[in-house]
Structure 1
Amino acid sequence: MRAPAWRSASRKPSWPTRSSTASISRGIPVLTLEKVNAGYGHSHVLHDVDLEFGDNQIVALMGRNGVGKTTTFNAIMGLVPVTSGRILFDGHDLTRLPARSAALLGIGFVPQGRRIFPEFTVMENLRVGTRSGRVPSDALDWIFALFPRLKERVSQAGGSLSGGEQQMLAVGRALAMQPRLILMDEPMEGLSPGMAEVVRQAIVEARNKGVRILIIEQDIDEALALAQDIHIMEKGSIQVHCRPQALQQDPTILERHLGIRL
């Protein structure tokens, strides 16, 4: 595992609790996908996808390009129709709810490609994901402690930021809604080593505050360093579910399913 080159500020406001957090202590999964099938029009992408987690952890979803990882995220967020199966979050059935429902119930989303609003300022981008249109002061303090550059550029247009700064903004926007779960689609992709380390450490800090994180990651080193649980997809379904240690002990799993040699 890499030695962190960046350390977060010592002052960290307590993360607001939600009334449903008791479900975690009883071991009930926060997110469950049960035999989920989904796709785009006549293209059937997901085939009986089963996935669940509920502990304070980071879970990595891995697989070759085109196997359904991003579609899985889109199905959870209500952006692609689920034809059969169920998606449950914190006791709520998301399967047929409108797309906005996942965010309202506490699921943040950091999509691939960032998708910030380039004409909005940094502060306006942070406000976009909140229900009230304002970021609670303790959450804002924490976001700026994680990403000091955002504080320095708070009045700048999002489109004027560097790629790494835009990724910080995308992560900060997800954190601004004070989520219980964040879906992150390759959050370190294309970043310089320094920027990637800042984002990586923010992910760990969020996990330490009790935010569950489901991350799509193509880089096996990143997945092994960050995740406590790994799912590997092939042809639209999950074929492997294991701990990172299992992949290190049996590298043939990676070679068979991802074409990777450690």
Structure 2
Amino acid sequence: MSDPILKLEGVYTDIAQYHILQGVDLEVPRGGVTMLLGRNGVGKTTTLRTVMGHWRAKTGKVLLDGQDITTLPTPQIARAGVGFVPENMGIFSDLTVEENMILAAVSGPIDPARLEWVFSAFPPLKTFWKGHAGNLSGGQKQMLSIARAMVEERRLYLIDEPTKGLAPAIISTMARALRELKEQGASILLVEQNFSVAKALGDSCVVMDDGRVVWSGEMAELATDAGLQERLMGLSMEAHQ
């Protein structure tokens, strides 16, 4: 088994007076999708933001391909090949779709072939290419948010609840695009509350509770064990589709 693309070792992260991450040990295998699951408020978003440098680990290490990135500034982490899709989308509403995509291409001009693939995954972005991002629908804004991370090949993609609040048809579009990204050999750490999406996309899985990792293994193992789901998350996936 190859070395993990991402590794967290004993990571503690505080936000103001709150102790959010309390000794997170986590590995993301190279290639495929690792689901980061758990109830609301257990530290999943904080984990992604700590990796991205938005919030600083108080102690512990964050390793990308074996390199310690714990204290690097966010722009340097992005230039190292980490793409981030935040839960709040993070798009620039006053800029056009085109301008949003250009800003996201940290390595240089957008590759035309890559852009055509993005358009094939999210056709509305081509339709509204010259329009302001703020005029897009909620689902289209989420498409743009994910497309900004996909516009160039990254070493690692961190994606926070991409299907939250979206209509079923848009969720299917999102899942299909992420599956295509996975088929390209991408390494993805994905927070997702839609268990149907988690089961369909996930290869490995990490479950968090109370700021710690409480279980890790194959997504298929968790998906087929209702008792394990109940024990780890207090609900079964089948009851929470």
* Band of TM-score, shorter chain: over 0.9
* TM superposition shift of 1:157: 0.4
- Deviation, 1:213, is 0.9
Q: Report what 2:40 is aligned to.
A: 65
User: For residue 50 of structure 2, what is the aligned residue in structure 1?
Assistant: 75
Alignment deviations for residues 92-147 of structure 1 (CA, whole Å, 9 cap, x no partner):
21101111121111110111021211111010011112225631222212111211
Residue aligning to 2:174: 199
Query: Runs ≥4 in structure 1, deviation > 3 angstroms?
Result: none
- Give the equivalent residue in structure 2 for 1:109: 84
CA RMSD of aligned residues (A): 1.4
Show the 5 A alignment for 1:86-105: 86-105=61-80
**Aligned: 1:119 with 2:91:** no
Equivalent position of 1:240 in the other structure: 215
In structure 2, give the amino acid aligned to 1:88. Answer: L
Q: Is the 8 A contact 2:79 2:107 kept in 1?
A: no
Q: Take 2:205 and 2:107, find their aligned partners in 1: how far apart are those partners?
A: 35
Of residues 198, 201, 205 in structure 2, which corresponds to 1:223?
198
Which of 20, 33, 36 is equivalent to 2:11?
A: 36
What is the CA distance between 1:221 and its match in structure 2? 2.0
In 1, distance between residues paired with 2:64 and 2:108? Answer: 24
- 1:248 deviates by 3.7
Secondary structure, counterpart of 2:27 in structure 1: strand
**Which of 122, 130, 133 is matched with 1:158 structurally?**
133
Residue type matched to 1:187 in 2?
Answer: P
CA distance in 2, matches of 1:221, 1:95: 33
Question: d(CA) in 1 for partners of 2:175 and 2:40?
Answer: 22
Q: Tell me, in whole angstroms, the C-alpha distance in 2 between the residues paired with 1:81 and 1:132.
A: 25
Question: 2:101–2:151: 8 Å Cα contact kept in structure 1?
Answer: yes
Q: Gaps spanning 5+ residues in structure 1: where?
A: 1-25
Superposed CA offset, 1:131-186 (max 9, x none): 25631222212111211111111001001111111111011100123212111111
| Map of 1:138 onto structure 2 | 113
Q: Is the 8 A contact 1:108 1:177 kept in 2?
A: no
Distance 2:94 2:12 in 1: 37
Deviations 1:230-251 (A, max 9, x none): 1110000000112123224421
SS of alignment partner, residue 181 of structure 2: helix
Task: Classify 1:138/1:246 alpha carbon distance in 2 versus 1 (closer, same or farther; 3 Å).
Answer: same
- Cα distance in 1 between the residues matched to 2:47 and 2:76: 16
TM-score, with normalisation over the residues of structure 2?
0.94
Distance 1:132 1:256 in 2: 44
Matches of 2:220 and 2:114, distance apart in 1 = 34
Q: How many residues align?
A: 237
What is the Cα deviation at residue 65 of structure 1? 0.9
> What corresponds to 2:142 in structure 1?
167
Query: Shift in Å at residue 87 of structure 1?
Result: 0.5
Change (3 A) 1:122 1:133: farther
Secondary structure of 1:82 counterpart? coil
Query: Aligned partners of 1:247, 1:99: CA distance in 2, in Å?
Result: 33
The unaligned stretches of length 5 or more in structure 2 are none
Q: Percent identity?
A: 38
Cα pair distance change 1:219/1:132, threshold 3 Å: closer
Query: How far apart, in 1, do the equivalents of 2:219 and 2:106 lie?
Result: 36
> CA shift at 1:209, angstroms?
0.9
